[in-house]
Structures are given as structure tokens and as C-alpha cells.
């Protein structure tokens, strides 16, 4: 589950389309509408990555986390036997920061700390995938926010190496 960054898994044909619940512009608010689809899929593991669009929509980090927590609670209620992995919000390239939209690496680091706390409260797993991108501007598309297709195999390997 996620936004356009996660959508890349189906775009690059790494995961079946029907197993990727992600679209360009998606936020944690929109994601609530995917919970029924998630119930139908009934996956063993659920990997979630939201944040970039949420940073634009929510001026307060706490409001974003509150909405994220609601999403996690809905998922746990509908697919209680799935293991949930919440991934860090990815940093942006140095040329991708956009303070007018609230997208800065400083804010992303603050939000990720709040996400870690949320994962502890919700008893779900946290994966810091973003650490693989810090200071690595070459892994980003020209917009500085989306990752290049070549990063997805690194991402998948990191997920596989950190499954519980």
C-alpha cells in the first residue's frame, strides 16, 4: 500500500498489479478506501509507505500521524492475521526539497520519528528503507522525490532481509 512511489512495484512489473494498492497522489486518508480490497487479498504481510503526499496535505505532523494510526487500526480490524510493516517516509534528493509544500528532509526525519513511535503503540513493524537513500541523489528521478527503477531491487532486498 502506498502512493506513486509504491506504485512503481507494479509499473516495473516486480509485483502483480492486483497486489499493489497504490496510486499517484494517494494519502493515508485515501488509503482507508483500500482496506476492503486488502481484506479480499488477505495477504500474509502488508507493506505500507505513505507520507510524501501527506506532508503536503497535513501542515501538522501530528495530524498526519493521527490519520496514519487510524489506517493501521482499520487494517488490523479487517485483516487481523496479517503482519504489518510500516516503512519510513523516503528522504528526497537535495534538489527535491520543497519547503513551500512542506517537503524537507528535516521534516521527513521528524515524521519518521513519530512513525516509529506510532509503530510501537500499534505493535506493528517499522522498516527504515529511507536510510538507503540518504545522501544518494543518484537514486532519484529528476523530480528529486521519486526513486529510479533500479532502486526497487535494492528496496526488495532490504524488505526480504528484515522480515520478522
Say what the pLDDT of residue 129 is. Answer: 96
Query: Is the pLDDT at 81 greater than 90, yes or no?
Result: yes
- Which tens digit of pLDDT belongs to each residue from 92-136? 999 999 999 999 999 999 999 999 999 999 999 999 999 999 989
Q: 526525519: which residue's cell?
A: 109
pLDDT band at 76 (very low <50, low <70, confident <90, very high): very high
Q: CB within 8 A of 68, min separation 6: which ones?
A: 28, 50, 54, 86, 115, 118
Say what the pLDDT of residue 57 is. Answer: 95
Distances (CA, A) of 45 to 51, 57, 69, 83, 151: 20, 28, 18, 5, 21
**Contact present, 51 and 108 (Cβ < 8 Å):** yes
What is the residue range of 97's domain? 4-161
Mean pLDDT on 57-66: 96
Say what the pLDDT of residue 155 is. Answer: 96
- Which tens digit of pLDDT belongs to each residue from 9-49? 999 989 999 999 999 999 999 999 999 999 999 999 999 99
Helices and strands, counts by H and E, the chain:
7, 3
Query: Is the pLDDT at 144 greater than 90, yes or no?
Result: yes
**pTM assigned to the model:** 0.95
Mean pLDDT on 77-90: 97
Query: Is the pLDDT at 139 greater than 90, yes or no?
Result: yes
Number of domains composing the chain: 1
- Dmax over CA atoms of the chain, in Å, equals 41
Spatial separation of the C-alpha atoms in residues 137 and 71, rounded to whole Å: 31
Q: What is the CATH number of the domain that holds 139?
A: 3.40.50.1110
Q: Are strands 45-48 and 83-87 parallel, antiparallel or unpaired?
A: parallel
Query: Is the pLDDT at 164 greater than 80, yes or no?
Result: no
Amino acid at each position: 500500500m502506498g502512493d506513486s512511489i509504491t506504485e512503481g512495484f507494479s509499473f516495473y512489473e516486480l509485483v502483480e498489479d492486483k497486489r499493489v494498492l497504490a496510486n499517484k497522489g494517494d494519502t493515508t486518508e485515501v488509503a482507508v478506501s483500500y482496506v476492503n480490497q486488502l481484506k479480499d487479498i488477505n495477504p500474509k504481510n502488508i507493506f505500507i509507505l505513505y507520507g510524501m503526499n501527506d506532508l503536503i496535505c497535513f501542515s501538522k505532523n501530528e495530524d498526519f500521524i493521527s490519520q496514519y494510526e487510524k489506517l493501521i487500526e482499520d487494517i488490523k480490524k479487517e485483516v487481523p492475521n496479517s503482519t504489518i510493516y510500516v516503512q519510513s517516509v523516503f528522504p528526497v534528493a537535495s534538489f527535491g526539497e520543497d519547503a513551500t509544500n512542506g517537503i524537507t528532509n528535516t521534516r521527513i526525519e521528524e515524521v519518521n520519528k513519530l512513525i516509529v513511535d506510532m509503530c510501537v503503540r500499534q505493535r506493528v513493524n517499522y522498516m527504515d528503507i529511507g536510510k538507503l537513500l540518504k545522501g544518494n541523489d543518484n537514486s532519484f528521478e529528476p523530480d528529486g522525490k521519486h526513486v529510479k527503477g533500479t532502486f526497487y531491487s535494492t528496496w526488495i532486498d532490504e524488505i526480504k532481509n528484515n522480515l520478522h
